[in-house]
């Protein structure tokens, strides 16, 4: 193992290029919309989550419509892209934004990213509602 591999692993980027965030077979394997719940607790109860496989980490934010482009641009600096969504605008005049990126997910990095996204939303007069993680669904057949 090279030092570069370890650095990429620490940043949650090992194997991230192999997963297409738009793949049809992705299923939600972990989710939290409770600010008080630790990412470690969410991942501990996630029975379908594969810790060593890449996942699509999605953060669900709501920001004023005039801030959406700026929030997406700032998040893009860290590899996030807006996800396609079919939600309508929220009743509190905030537009829903889902930011996603592919990474190997662990409790530490999930917590760090959750905090960063909450700060990003707050700095733009919005809020972070929660996060979820998707991985490819797998069959239970044994060969």
CATH number given to 3-136: 3.30.70
The predicted-structure confidence for 77-116, as pLDDT tens digits, reads as follows 999 999 987 655 555 789 999 999 999 999 999 999 999 9
Q: Max alpha carbon distance in the chain (Å)? A: 53
**pTM for the whole thing?**
0.82
DSSP string, 48-91: S--TTSEEEEEEEEEEEGGGHHHHHHHHHTTT-EEPP--PPPPT
The phi and psi torsions of 57 (rounded to 5 degrees) equal -90, 120
Q: Where are the domains of the chain?
A: 3-136
**What's the Cα-to-Cα distance from 31 to each of 27, 123, 132, rounded to whole Å?**
11, 24, 4
Taking residues 20-26, report their average pLDDT. Answer: 92
């Amino acid at each position: 193992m090279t030092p570069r591999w370890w650095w990429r692993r620490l940043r949650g980027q090992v194997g991230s290029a192999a997963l297409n965030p738009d793949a049809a077979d992705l299923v939600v394997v972990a989710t939290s919309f409770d600010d008080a719940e630790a990412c470690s607790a969410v991942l501990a109860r996630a029975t379908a989550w594969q810790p060593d496989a890449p996942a699509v980490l999605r953060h669900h934010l709501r920001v004023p419509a005039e801030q959406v482009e700026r929030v997406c641009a700032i998040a893009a600096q860290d590899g996030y892209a807006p996800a396609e969504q079919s939600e309508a605008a929220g009743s509190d005049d905030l537009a829903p934004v889902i930011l996603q990126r592919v990474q190997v997910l662990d409790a530490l990095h999930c917590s760090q990213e959750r905090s960063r996204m909450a700060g990003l939303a707050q700095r733009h007069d919005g809020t972070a509602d929660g996060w979820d993680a998707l991985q490819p669904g797998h069959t239970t057949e044994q060969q």
